[in-house]
Structure 1
């Protein structure tokens, strides 16, 4: 529906006047696990929400965490937000959002609970794969396009988690101690930028506390800042189970309470709130404000009245969505090392033998991660991608080499992880010793099998890393070490086969220092959607040149992160943001801390050169030339940083552009410089550590 907020508000107020107290109460809390109650007599439908960031989640029964089990909720599996960020491509971020919005609309959802926008303060957060980056500018730029893509389909995007949701450990109770300037100008500014530039229709409040107040009940966060200073007029929903006190939440600027339990009439915004209104303890006008925001949302989405005929139709599982998934996946694969081994071009490997080692080569990831889990229409594994891309002339064999575990964890019958997530304080410490004696012996057996056979092949490809037993909601990592005894396997493998191509899959940095210096070819890929295996295979065999760049620092150790070394991340009750503005590369650059790979880093199969760099329009535009000096068509990301000075003592990204060039090509470019002061010194390059001052 088109119209100003004043027009929408007037229409919403007309509807509001016709509602009874019971009807209003029904609209502001869950009546099912993902749905509120409608008002049939006025043609007001329930508001239907769904996870998540990688695709529209499978349908559950209305009042139980039991999958419906039909075949109609298989969907397109999108690359995770960390993968989207590693494309450094605004267009691809927008296309990812459009797929998510179209499929949410096609599945009959009104609000898709995405994107996740929390900055990667520490590499240990179990939900980092759901977030874009450690950098606020890159996050806001890509999230803006993602939100626009979602909402182009008459579906509301929902920014989350507002705010400071940087750990899963004790996530339901942890309190954040932070300087207000850092809170406002770093962590909240990312949300404000996207609100200003994309007008997201909804926001989800976080589980944790800020300054002793739960975010879902915080007058400071939701009232003073979001509604007051920013003038946000959208819909604010709690994370599931994040409301703790009826009166405090009623007086705060949150519009709807959702939870994971089945006692819907006992939610804080259900019968308990009605009783508070009838007793006079809570003013009914507070409920009216909440319902008004919900009605405005419904009008924006063409959900009520005659506008319903104007609401967009949409499909899901389309060929176009799958092709877009492939292009996003292609753009996200990051080449970290290559001493001339890659690519394995088709004429060279014809009639040769390739051994693929590693459990992640033969594993899918769409069905894990917490609320990011979905029922993917399909998912191409790396093994499948290689076999289907190379064809029958090259023999490809597979050995697991390592295993994550033998027996699956069991949950009580009729539940899943989310149904019991409020019982264990919403998080636990990851990395407990899983391997019993039998498991260790089994791992040794399959490791030795892989090592004994690796010399019989012309090429060896190892595919390892993490999985959603580790990268998951409700669980933080203990450190960034590789699990499942992978280091032992890789070290021995590189000793026997120095030409082994190592591919890592995961949601964030892993410690590769034990064998990195001996590795000649290294690729990193995030959880890359349904076409991830095809994209990885295309990079390995040279069908495409890799173009991904890291959107986070790959530390040598978790302790090299300021969020861990200074902020005591993982404190059960209180986290201190002592690092201030110095997160990610800002901290490592300031203190010259060695890293495995810096923020912005990524190689390709060609060589690029910058020249004729100059600032125009008082530093608001960078002009220059980019030349592809190699023999391969390829893509490069030109990155602009403001250097540290007396007014801002950390380096910061202020501009970027991804540019494709034919072999030998050269082009002029202009890139906007997003620096509010416009007074700094700037440098340009292809990652944060290799820059030339302008």
Structure 2
């Protein structure tokens, strides 16, 4: 009996052991709480596995934990499309034949839609593309503030206003992450120039930091729930921003409670101990020759790799910081590649192309339309002259890390020809030579722009073509070449490159019916503005660029975009150039403080070329009286403003109603007014709708740098409703008790 009992017990123990072996670990059980899963995975990892998890193994990947079935982490450049595959440890193309993406409009175009639904559509679509390619982290979107029109990377960002950028970035993030792909919002923080970007130390006061340069990131974290943030290249307070104690530990993870992953920009890590202590979680790009730097795998030389492990083994540092980094990366893995319920995504689809076209159409801004030259009436036009290199130049390649291998790109010329069909003759002349290159980083795309004719011959041809046409569409502006709209380089001047001003001036003499289409992500000077009746801001519009542009020019789509940044008439009308420094030397001083963009022009009473929030329509809108539901509000209260908007024209259109708040008296200097609300409303001809905005104490607050807190002082305020920052439609005063 005793032996039999022993046998039964042994059998039971064996059975229990087998059950224990087959029981799903907590970290793989998606029914378990996230914190429990993360802690379970963490306790199973060796120190060596933890170290491996927090640094790259190739240009765009880190190794995961193979022993535990935690897959590799794969990142991809955005924010306008999914980057082509490159070789394991080189920037050269991998030679795939199925990685041609849909190119979406640049983020300046998205911001200029002033439409949160378009941002959600953008995020959803690009998230699906990233998911299909099995990427964990999309390196975007960017929300650095438009401080100077010379910043070469402005086209990747969302304009000059922190409220607009914050409102537009949140739906993008949610759309991306709904696909099980982490949005990595960049570049945190103060990366407002490309010149000296790797070492310049930014000197900025705390008010400007908190009121201008941080709010969009804060919205991304607290409202958007971003799973990742990318540090910037520059320094702040003498520390690199990829391992900056004040920015990462004190503000991002401390004040804002960010629980995601801080990713380094590629090559942005410079100090091992700071990388350990100051909030960096995942290191990429420190070495660019990972397989040939004197070790079997030079990625082991990263600051958060073998050197970190050596410090732990020697007792120089503990593992508290390491475990925090690993927890964050594990959480990201569980939310992305280990999420069994994430959708499969889709790639290069017609649906995505049409989404990009819709965003592009809503982002195009009609800046000027004297004599109602636009939309073009094809029943009265026999010949259209399209002039300018940008009418045929591919814009999805070049510009730095956002360069794409697009599935296709419709040029403005092709878009116009397709839309016009046989209703009118379309003739083309180049007019000028800018950059004949049509390749970047191994991607060759677009027309052959080799040109043997002289500038004089090209201009003469353009003038001849213009004289013989009913209307001229000049497609010019900037491009993605060095020292234009391009990562790593700043522009050298506000004016148009390649002597375009002369070309436009001569064409305007030859034909009074001229439309200037500015393809750029930046403001440009327009000394000929009074000679050109119609001006359109065309941005970089992606795969469907030409079709979107043609639909607006011909009136199929009523333009509804509004500028996300101010167009100054001259460079010194910008605060960074009038009072501050750009690009500075070893350091750059933001002497203009929080007076950026329209805040500066209004403070100085400067009339810009085109103001922030400006954009015309093919219909007209009438605003009623602005009313408030109360005349005063307590600190814990809210107040709602209302205004009726009516379409008084003959066709359907969309209007962006903008709310600005003015503080009449403050203990610290404040802008004349600041954007605190906007709503894009669609109205049929004759239709009227009521637009409402509700604000609270937070919307009236400013940052007191002495107290290091947000303050709303009692006193008199004014709600200002406008169709732009200068086109004011109504005001109503109220009191904060």
Deviates more, 1:150-159 or 1:526-535: 526-535
Q: Which residue of 1 aligns with 2:180?
A: 154
Take 1:402 and 1:686, find their aligned partners in 2: how far apart are those partners? 36
The CA deviation at 1:649 is 2.5
Give the superposition deviation at 1:409.
9.5
| 2-structure distance, mates of 1:616, 1:399 | 58
Q: 2:360 aligns with which of 329, 341, 347?
A: 329
Deviates more, 1:326-335 or 1:555-564: 555-564
**1:364-393 CA distances to partner (integer Å, 9 max, x unpaired)?**
111111111111111111111101111123
Q: Check whether the contact 1:336–1:601 (CA below 8 A) recurs between aligned residues.
A: yes
Do 1:585 and 1:598's aligned partners in 2 also have CA atoms closer than 8 Å? Answer: yes
**Deviation at 1:563?**
1.5
Question: How far does residue 595 in structure 1 lie from its aligned partner after superposition?
Answer: 0.9
For the 8 Å contact 1:133–1:552, the answer to whether it is kept is yes
Distance 2:539 2:576 in 1: 22
Within 5 A, what are the aligned runs for 1:173-572? 173-259=199-285, 261-263=288-290, 264-301=299-336, 303-304=337-338, 308-339=339-370, 340-349=372-381, 352-406=382-436, 442-469=454-481, 470-512=484-526, 514-572=527-585
Quickly say closer, same or farther: Cα 1:674–1:157, change in 2 above 3 A. farther
Q: Structure 1, unaligned stretches of length 5 or more? A: 417-437
Q: Which moved more, 1:131-140 or 1:333-342?
A: 333-342
Worse overlay, 158-167 or 10-19? 10-19
Whether the 8 Å contact between 1:494 and 1:500 is mirrored in structure 2 is yes
Determine helix, strand or coil for the equivalent of 2:73: coil
Q: Return the offset for 1:146.
A: 0.9
Evaluate the alpha carbon distance shift between residue 581 and residue 268 of structure 1 in structure 2; reply closer, same or farther with a 3 A threshold.
same
* 1:667 equivalenced with 2:686 (yes/no): no
* Cα separation, 2, equivalents of 1:324 and 1:439: 35
- Could you tell me whether the CA contact under 8 Å between 2:165 and 2:216 is conserved in 1? yes
1:613 aligned to 2:645? no
Alpha carbons of 1:670 and 1:318: their partners in 2 closer, same or farther (altered >3 Å)?
same
Query: Partner of 1:604 in structure 2?
Result: 617
SS of residue in 2 equivalent to 1:310: coil
In structure 2, relative to structure 1, the CA distance for the partners of 1:3 and 1:395 (3 Å cut) is farther
Deviates more, 1:268-277 or 1:481-490: 268-277
Mapped contact 1:33–1:262 kept (Cα < 8 A): no
What is the deviation of 1:184?
A: 2.2
Q: Say if 1:5 and 1:199 are closer, same or farther in 2 by CA, change over 3 A.
A: farther
CA contact (8 A) 1:405 1:439 kept: no
CA distance in 1 between partners of 2:72 and 2:201 (Å): 34
Pick from 599, 609, 628: which aligns with 2:647?
628
The structure showing larger relative contact order (alpha-carbon pairs under 8 Å, at least 6 residues apart) is 1
Larger Rg: 2
Deviation for aligned residue 1:190 = 2.1
Rounded Cα–Cα distance in structure 2 between residues aligned with 1:65 and 1:415: 11
TM-superposition CA deviations, 1:404-437 (whole Å, max 9, x none): 13468999xx999xxxxxxxxxxxxxxxxxxxxx
Q: 1:53 to 1:674 in 2, by over 3 A?
A: farther
Q: For 2:517 and 2:345, locate their aligned partners in 1 and report how far apart those are by CA, in whole Å.
A: 37
1:65 touches 1:415 (CA, 8 Å); kept in 2?
Answer: no
Alpha-carbon distance in 2 for matches of 1:370, 1:240: 13
Deviates more, 1:292-301 or 1:610-619: 610-619
Root mean square deviation of aligned Cα: 2.2
The equivalent residue for 2:731 is 693
2:670 to 635, 641, 649: 649
Which residue of structure 2 lines up, in the alignment, with residue 434 of structure 1?
A: none
Note the alpha carbon deviations across 1:664-693, whole angstroms, 9 max, x for none: 221222233466255621111101112122
Correspondence for 1:103: 129
Task: Report Cα offsets for 1:533-587 as digits up to 9, x if no partner.
Answer: 1111111111111111101000012221112222211112101111111000001
Q: Which moved more, 1:679-688 or 1:73-82?
A: 679-688
* Contact 1:140–1:190 (Cα < 8 Å) also in 2: yes
Give 1:133-172 correspondences, 5 Å limit.
Answer: 133-172=159-198
Question: Which residue pairs with 1:129 in the alignment?
Answer: 155
User: CA separation in 1, counterparts of 2:725 and 2:677?
Assistant: 12
**Equivalence for 2:46:** 20
1:72 corresponds to which of 73, 78, 98 = 98
Structure-2 separation of matches of 1:55 and 1:407: 21
Provide the C-alpha distance between the structure 2 equivalents of 1:646 and 1:607, rounded to a whole number of angstroms.
Answer: 35
- How far, CA to CA, are the matches of 1:108 and 1:87 in structure 2? 29
How far has the Cα of 1:3 moved from its partner? 12
Cα shift at 1:453:
2.5
The count of aligned residue pairs is 664
8 Å contact from structure 2 (residues 679, 691) kept in 1? no
Aligned equivalents of 2:29, 2:548: Cα separation in 1: 42
* Partners of 1:410 and 1:88 in 2: CA distance: 31
**1:112 offset after TM fit, Å?**
0.2
Residue ranges of structure 2 left out of the alignment (5+ in a row):
1-26, 291-298, 445-449, 701-715, 733-737
CA distance in 2: counterparts of 1:632 and 1:659, whole angstroms: 14
